Structure 1
């Protein structure tokens, strides 16, 4: 019996040791697995940041190419020389414009430029040296691009095996119509080397870019360039479950703006198939989409984890040996105490693991909070306008119902005025969140009005220790550009001026005048046909700047302020905006005396557009007009539906984009007009419009939004949108738009 008891004790000890080993191994495995997943998720977020950055850089690069050439083709001298070509056949003048312009800009990636006449026939070409290869120019379809008559991106084409190019089209217009087109050819290999290759080896394994058809147009492996992921996958691999994730990812790129995935890669047999992590972003330019993918092998992403795996295993082994020795020793000496100590040590290990997981979760939550705050800041104007739409709308509705003789009419009018004041506050916030770099938003603006609006805000923000000395004259000067951007320039310069005087106080002086072109400083060159310039001088009595500082103030990220006070981007942005407006900026400063910033902007004879008086809507009987209304805000939907029904329209309202699309697809010919919000869950209003337009291209569309984004402007230019209305909506303006567009 004694032997049996000893054997039972050994069995119990062995069982306990086995259980302990299993629990410890499970804890180690779960910790390692959680850490591995965290590393993969962090790599996915990192790759997504890279793909976004590459997409934005390429978008900005191509947009700048189009914009810079657009500045050339809008130059009066260029248009005159091109007209001479038609009148006398003289090409030397326009040739000189293009040559001097291209040599002055030193483009990287712009390999060839064509000047075409109205019929798409070549007038002149310029080859940037060295050009990569000769190619079949029929692929450029120059005549088709000219007939299309639209400025924007053309199509990608293969220059040689392993290298693609893309065409950019700028139409040349005069008063009596178009004079031709300027077609630029961008060498994508050069653009890849400039923007993408530095990131390939440092931040990811490689970066791949596909065009709208799914063809690879940029890749570090030239053998992959030209391969089409939609059409080139062999049929036998489509049924291989190992490549199912890759095929799903390729399909998702055409449904979502961005995303991440892990899949088994296919490289046409040029490399062994491996599991890869990818993050993709869709880039949209002028209605054309490219897909940017940042890719990293899973093995490379987990390399830091695997490098420390041996050390981790050694540490676990040492801990395990200590636990076993301690368990056996304590069991022999003190059975009861041994159990307590084992449980304590085990709980300590588990608690330590849980604390590490908790800290990791807190870090993730903190990062998510920061992301949420950033997104919330960008969406304040949108949400505020969604609230103002029903508030102001119902006030108008009640005022119409009660009439001016009602004792509540004045109360309702005060509510409406308060809403209008709130709308003005939102409009003051919008310039700081709106991305207005597209020249399509330019028009003739009153510079006097811009100065008045900017000074109103400056008076609100400067401290009482600083005195404003204003010498503002009603010059009547109009400039061609963006009032928002010019307002931003003045606010930035005034803010810098008063911040230089915050400690000791001082005087901020602002003056304006109109000067003749011959009074322009010589360092800015000739006036190029401009007769007059508007001159604005902003002077402070602050600490001043040294000559060394003045040479760097327009460099991006250069700042003399504390890290918490400035980013170094303000004056760089000011210079960029003035350059886009064909203007100049001059700086004068003395240490201890202050600084002066002098702005010169070309004056235009084009008058400022006059707002039409508001028309009163009248209830009339009409044939049924079926309106499809889509907005995720139920308050906005209820308000618009109620008011539109009162005017006899048949309104079908939806707060879910997918439900609206399903209803539309059931009977596409039923709808006379689509009214859709820009920002909605699942996908944006512009995406919904594109899907409906594929089914019914003639469907009239009104987009309502609190903030006009770049893709909405591009769709308006492409005539995919008929009208864009800003929230909070003016109901009479909405009725006029419906009456104009609905059949």
Structure 2
């Protein structure tokens, strides 16, 4: 095997030249003039241009393995650089001033120039500025008998860099050239000493061993690559195939030798390939990127496989041949598809997030509207009741005031519905009579649902009670009915709301998702609409899933129903089929039949104030006037303030004179929580009550942490506030 000792004196003399970009070319030439080195070059017959098929196979492999258009084997003499084999190169000799390879003769390591225009050693080289316009160069020195004779190199007109595997291949190829030089030298010596008999036979034997080792190098290089490699001649007949071909295409290499390339091409692509191949053979003009082209291959079993192909042209035995490195793109394409799918899922999630943010914004808006509107309703209801109290029952104005009161109560209930739909009211469970809940739902739905859709009930004659939040059950029924008539898409139809008490044994309860056995109320909503297929039924409760056109639905209605039902310890199922309508079944734990939570009648409270001093703070003038009259009639001494700062200043002057403070939550400047903290800073322990037209759970929690004694809904001021104050003051 050819080799190069690291301690060689010749290499040591050249090492400085290799790493010194400003070295004088004359010094290089003088070191190249070493007599033993020149003798070796003459003996190997390397001082002239000549053809060697073995060298040609090496340059062909170098070009193929690195994907570069040009590959050379060069030998350096004091006169210049001789090209012993070439792919993609015309000239056979270069003066040393043009040589890249001379710079490799300082070490047995690879010299790599990623961009010659950026390297001071080469930026002025004629090969860089003119002619082939070399940009990339990589050369592996050829070490033989202690001398650096030349290099195996690859060049390109675009900048670049070799991969670690390609560096390894280039080193093996340089060793292979040294092996071939050894064969050449030993054959030369054998021919000169034919008369010596045994010495000649020994030299020939060594040459055969070296050849076998060289052949083994070739075999390993072809067989260990994971890319399938085919070499075809100019008639598109396969002349070589490596073992990786069987992995990619399912053909054994020996079965494809001598066959047409068409056996690995889908029929629909063969005509275009044949025409393009013939055109290239005539003109030499490339219409594809030979370094990386994506196409489709045909496997032995008839299936197709996406592949990436890199081409290279070489000459073997005076005939044009073409090599193709082919790589399976199945996994890459699958990864790209998965990436695109994930990107689509990300965009869908962003759309869902925007929908959720819209709903949250609507909820915030609803809360603000509810607060302002509840202030108005409280003023209307309170002043109406006070006016009714002031008038004789037979007064002509009483009837009108009662109508105003009725309209106010309707407005108050409407605000509660807005807060329910905005999901800004906490769950307050109680024993609810189902007939009343269904009747209330019907009264809300009838003005909304088109007259072409009939809505009916099927309820038993006796009371049915469930332990639930009445408002949330109403919301669930409204969502189901709205979903039913929207599915009818303007066609006439029928919706039925029904209920019955159903005892569930253990087996039935388990079948419904692990409910507790016992008494349950079965509530159903049935329609005769278009129905749903099985795939839709499976996803019907998924958040954001909707079959409506884009922009017409959030996909949250049924998922909210599911959340309400399961939150009450119940279960919900659906029966549906295309053309058969849809029925939603709800099972809720049955409530106590002995008692139901009835709404508190609206009645003003009797006088309990006993002259206690109440400080009332509210920026709404209507409320301050109404509350002042209401509490004074209840026997309280009342001080009202439209600004929190005025109230705090008065309290600070006489803190012991105030028995209890009532304040609005939302006011300009200082909020009700701010007033509470300031009051307690002056006189800790004084009772503070906060009222608001909207008290979501988070605000209630903040108020409790701040030390509020009680809260009340301002729309219920007339019914709640006097009694609440009496309770807190122990009256």
Sort the TM-score into its range (normalised by shorter chain).
0.3 to 0.5
The structure whose RCO (Cα within 8 Å, separation 6+) is larger is 1
Q: Which has the larger radius of gyration?
A: 2
TM-score where L is the length of structure 2: 0.46
- The structure in which a higher percent of residues are helix is 1
